[in-house]
Amino acid sequence: MTYDVIIIGSGPAGYTAALYTSRAFLKTLVLSGFEPGGQLTTTTEVDNYPGFPKGIMGPQLVTDMKAQVERFGAEIKQEVVTEINKESVFTITTQSGKYTAKTVIVATGASAMYLGLPSEEKLKGKGVSACATCDGFFFRGKVVTVIGGGDTAMEEATFLTKFAPKVTVIHRRDEFRASAIMLDRAKKDERITFLTNKIVEEILGETEVTGVRLKDAKTGEMIDYPTQGVFLAIGHKPNTDFLKGFIDLDPKGYVAVKRAETPLSPQTETSVPGVFAAGDCVDPRYRQAIVAAGQGCMAAMDAEKYLETHGTEDHA
């Protein structure tokens, strides 16, 4: 059986796309990937998604989105896509099967970036983490560091003071990308200290983290700085490796969507006709749940329109 639409990813972009396609009576399959529900499952309160005057917990928000999608009959399977091919229809390969579809919506989002050090890999889950809200609890009474200089770093540092008596933010420059308001809040907190112009060369420890080796960006001087937890907040990377060679990506790996030729052209179409993309995997700029949801809606409407004009021939 060939689906009208296969949606890859189950964050706000994927679920919103599925809501629109299934309500339009398109036969829809969502492949939910290694992180069902997406990035919002790793956070606590979401206060800027409209419709929830008291805020809503991130995991709850995506659980509700899923229930809403299921109400209209979309199928959801927890599988990770490894390959897409185009013949007369699209064939999507996962670790456990193959599916075919007339259109595809890529909504694979982004994942936290790591430094890429072998010592970091070895100590993941043993003091190295990219999610303070998930793992902060285990650092009660411990001394921790946050690596990074953006809003995420400030947010993680502030959150970690709930558990850790001392939090050090380590940043490789002396200016911060973080917004004034977030930086100010962190700087006012006496439990948070800042180390700037320091590059992390190594994470120290055998079975758990004991410190970080830092190189001064200006003088080259090396120091070992003791810490029991290292929280990475150095940005995100789009989950698009498996799409290389199939659709055009920009140099940083974000899916390239075609510039709309006229105000009425589809805005989410990729370099391959019939493949659309939405959310953090196309968007290095806004990276918000509401934007991802909005783009998911756009991709669904673009796919629907595409099926009206191309999908009538029987491919089977």
Partner 1 sequence: MADVTDQTFDAEVLQSDKPVLVDFWAVWCGPCQVQGPIVEEVAAAVGDKAKVLKLNVDENPVNAQKYGIMSIPTLMVFNGGNVTKQFIGVTSKDTLLAELNK
Ligand X SMILES: Cc1cc2nc3c(=O)[nH]c(=O)nc-3n(C[C@H](O)[C@H](O)[C@H](O)COP(=O)(O)OP(=O)(O)OC[C@H]3O[C@@H](n4cnc5c(N)ncnc54)[C@H](O)[C@@H]3O)c2cc1C
Q: How many residues bind ligand X (CB under 6 A)?
A: 36
By the rule CB under 6 A, 114 interacts with ligand X: no
Which of 20, 231 has the CB closer to partner 1?
Answer: 231
Which of 109, 274 has the CB closer to partner 1?
Answer: 109
CA 66/CA 238 separation, integer angstroms = 22
User: DSSP letter at 12?
Assistant: H
What are the residues binding partner 1 (CB under 8 A)?
34-37, 40-44, 57-59, 63, 78, 80, 95-96, 124-127, 129, 131, 133-135, 137-139, 207-208, 229
CA 120/CA 196 separation, integer angstroms = 20
Question: What six digits make up the tokens of 300?
Answer: 């669904």
CA 80/CA 94 separation, integer angstroms = 5
Task: Decide if 134 is catalytic.
Answer: yes
Stretch that binds ligand X, among 12-20, 113-121, 169-177, 208-216 (CB under 6 A): 12-20
Q: How many CB atoms lie within 10 A of CB 118?
A: 9
By the rule CB under 6 A, 148 interacts with ligand X: no
Asked if residues 200 and 214 have their Cβ atoms less than 8 Å apart, the reply is: yes
Residue 288 interface partner, choices partner 1, ligand X, none, CB cut-off 5-8 Å depending on type: ligand X
Question: What six digits make up the tokens of 245?
Answer: 């060679």
Query: How far, in Å, are 39, 91, 120, 191, 263 from residue 114 at the CA level?
Result: 16, 32, 8, 25, 39
From 131, 151, 189, 248, active-site residue: 131
Task: Decide if 64 is catalytic.
Answer: no
From 47, 64, 134, 241, active-site residue: 134
Residue 304 interface partner, choices partner 1, ligand X, none, CB cut-off 5-8 Å depending on type: none
Question: What six digits make up the tokens of 71?
Answer: 């109400």
Interface residues for ligand X in 35-54 (CB under 6 A)?
35-36, 38-40, 42-43, 46, 48-49
Residues carrying an active site annotation: 131, 134-135
